[in-house]
Amino acid sequence: MQKKYASAPLLALAALTATAALAHEFWLLPPQFFVTPGTTLNLHLFVGENFTGERWGNKSNRVTRLAQYAPPGLNDLLATATTADTLHPNVTFAQPGTHMVVLSTNNAFITLEAEKFNAYLKEDGLDYILLRRQQRGALNKPGREAYSRCAKTLVQVGSYTSTDTARAWSRPTGMALDLVPEQNPYALRTGNSLTIRVLADGQPKAGQLVQVWQRSPGQTVKITKLYSNQNGRVLFRLTNPGQYMVSAVRMVPASLPEADWQSNWSTLTFGFKGIPSR
């Protein structure tokens, strides 16, 4: 969203704060997507737009879940990562295979004036909420939103091998909005297709807007917008090496005194080396 900022320093600071609140994409980005067994990484959390954003600096009490889905099983990392006020998501990738790390937050709350809220809904593909607001006669009322976030990332430990049958990367997480890959992207070659299934409250979500963000060396970020089919699936090709993020947001009426709407934001990140097709 393009914003205009006032010249006065305090007004500019307030505008910048509002911009950060509106920039809802939230993702996990490891320093490396390909590591050797035994490597420990400090995972980075970003929030912002256009797959660039800025480091997320909220307190560790915002985090409700941090878990590593490793080939041998599930590791709960929440207690260790949240012992201090500042979140420390250090993860050790001991065993070879494809690992998935999941982080989720509790609700935060925001109220926007009517015009800004309506524009935000339209920009993020939430036109059905605009229609609901119209039906409620609320288009001229402020938008009161509660939002939570879920971020997943896939890390390849050692070289990919077909003997990695644990499929830790494909485990549904039980999050309110879950992006579940149906193929392992680290097993794919350039030009192969990847299918993502969108689950809302554990059920396939049809008609969901899904955005695919592709950042390749020396190129601008490429964005592809897709809508899930009747089985909740979207399909796209892995065309170039680089970093990929898949994102989605779902909004429903809230049953909270502080908010009229509840949104759930979800992302999945992974790396792609671009192995040539045979």
In CATH terms, the fold of domain 25-272 is Immunoglobulin-like (2.60.40)
Q: What is the C-alpha to C-alpha distance for residues 248 and 233, in angstroms, rounded to an integer?
A: 12
Amino acid 114: pLDDT: 97
Give the bridge partners for 271, in sequence order: 243
Amino acid 240: pLDDT: 92
Q: 271 with 156: CB under 8 angstroms?
A: yes
Position 86 confidence tier, pLDDT thresholds 50, 70, 90: confident
Give the bridge partners for 23, in sequence order: none
- Which residue in this structure is represented by tokens 């830790």? 168
pLDDT tens for each residue of 74-84: 999 999 999 98
Q: What is the C-alpha to C-alpha distance for residues 109 and 122, in angstroms, rounded to an integer?
A: 19
pLDDT tens for each residue of 207-227: 999 999 999 988 899 999 999
Give the bridge partners for 104, in sequence order: 65, 150
Tell if the pTM clears 0.85, that is, is over it: yes
Start-to-end CA span in the chain (Å): 42
